[in-house]
């Protein structure tokens, strides 16, 4: 019996990082764009090895992902991941999860911002003529892993001893894209003035956890619209469905901009979308996430992050 081929996924389940750069691009409709994009895919693993060899203690990692339009434009000959499409906005009675454009994303993380910057300059050097920046956000680890609003972020991530394929990476259900991941991002801006006016006890009811020790509120204490309650979903058999979050805070204090960059890696985007529908529409309808009273989503884009094996094929190997 032949041994099943091992698949090498990108580092989607890596530590969120002390410092992060997220870059979202449009790929220009110019001569040479296809060749440069495919060449970059083929060499991406080599760029990663070079960084890790040069800076072995940097805790460096980077993920590359493609939006639906870019995939159809450059890689349709390889087929299309089952759930890769342009994100359709989720419009609730009160709030909307907007959809914003994006062909290409890089999620760069490292112990120091200098390492992130070094890799960002490599990207710029290789792709400068064929991409146009849509958004670049620099994030950082805040205190002991807290979001800007003062609560620990990522507590609901799968336990480290669980198989990441169960939550963050495509499996045999879409065999040609096994080891890939559906990467969904949203940039949230927080109303810190309004948030800070809430007593701590009220903030805890918004999140569903105690602020200072991250202990979950009891079912009796937790309102139906608490953030960690509306985003807790199950399948038909009662099994909890999870994704891997790599959220990162960002801020521009001189302009009063404070936010959270939501970064969610999932085996199935349907799981992420159900969480978003619970937040923005409610289940039952109207039971929307209380956190949205203080947090506005200004972006929303879906990408697919291929395995290293598939990136090689995308590069013509």
Residue 186 lies in domain:
19-314
pLDDT at 155: 66
8 is a domain residue: no
144 is a domain residue: yes
- Supply the pTM of this predicted model: 0.95
- 153 annotated active-site: yes
Per-residue pLDDT tens, the chain, 317 aa: give them.
344 567 889 988 888 889 999 999 999 999 999 999 999 999 999 999 999 999 999 999 999 999 999 999 999 999 999 999 999 999 999 999 999 999 999 999 999 999 999 999 999 999 999 999 999 999 999 988 889 999 888 766 766 556 767 889 999 999 999 999 999 999 999 999 999 999 999 999 999 999 989 899 998 999 999 999 999 988 888 888 899 999 999 999 999 999 999 999 999 999 999 999 999 999 999 999 999 999 999 999 999 999 999 999 999 87
pLDDT at 159: 61
CA dist list (Å): 60 to 12, 53, 112, 168, 244: 12, 10, 9, 19, 18
275 is a domain residue: yes
Q: What angle do CA 261, 263, 268 make, to 5 degrees?
A: 150
119 is a domain residue: yes
Query: What is the torsional sign of CA 76, 77, 79, 81?
Result: negative
Q: Is 242 helix (H, G, I), strand (E, B) or coil?
A: coil
How far is it between the farthest Cα atoms of the chain? 65
pLDDT at 87: 98
Query: What is the torsional sign of CA 152, 158, 164, 169?
Result: negative
The domain tally of the chain equals: 1
11 is a domain residue: no
pLDDT at 154: 73
CA dist list (Å): 127 to 3, 26, 232: 38, 11, 39
pLDDT at 3: 47
- Catalytic choice (103, 153, 289, 309): 153
3 is a domain residue: no
DSSP 42-85: HHHHHHHHHHHHH-TTS--EEEEEE-HHHHHHH-GGG---TT--
């Amino acid at each position: 019996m032949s041994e099943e081929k091992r698949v090498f996924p990108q580092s989607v389940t890596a530590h969120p990082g002390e410092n992060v750069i997220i870059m979202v691009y449009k790929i220009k409709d110019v001569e040479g764009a296809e060749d440069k994009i495919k060449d970059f895919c083929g060499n991406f693993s080599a760029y990663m090895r070079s960084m890790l060899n040069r800076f072995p203690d940097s805790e460096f990692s980077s993920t590359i992902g493609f939006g639906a339009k870019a995939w159809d434009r450059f890689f349709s000959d390889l087929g299309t991941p089952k759930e890769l499409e342009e994100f359709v906005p989720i419009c609730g009675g009160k709030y909307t999860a907007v959809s914003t454009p994006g062909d290409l994303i890089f999620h760069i993380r490292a112990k120091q911002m200098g390492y992130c910057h070094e890799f960002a300059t490599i990207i710029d050097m290789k792709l400068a003529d064929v991409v146009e920046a849509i958004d670049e956000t620099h994030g950082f680890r805040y205190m002991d892993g807290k979001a800007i609003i003062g609560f620990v972020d990522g507590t609901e991530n799968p336990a480290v001893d669980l198989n990441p394929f169960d939550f963050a990476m495509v499996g045999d259900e879409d065999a040609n894209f096994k080891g890939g991941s559906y990467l969904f991002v949203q940039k949230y801006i927080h109303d810190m003035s309004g948030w800070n006016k809430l007593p701590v006890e009220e903030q805890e009811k918004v999140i569903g956890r105690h602020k200072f020790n991250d202990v979950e509120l009891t079912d009796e204490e937790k309102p139906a619209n608490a953030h960690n309650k509306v985003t807790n979903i199950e399948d038909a058999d009662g099994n909890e469905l999870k994704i891997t979050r790599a959220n990162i805070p960002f801020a521009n204090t001189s302009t009063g901009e404070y936010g959270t960059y939501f970064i969610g890696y999932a085996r199935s985007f349907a799981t992420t979308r159900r969480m978003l529908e619970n937040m923005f529409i409610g289940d039952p309808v109207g039971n929307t996430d209380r956190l949205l009273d203080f947090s506005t989503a200004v972006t929303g884009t879906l990408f697919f992050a291929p395995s290293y094996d598939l990136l090689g094929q995308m590069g013509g190997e």
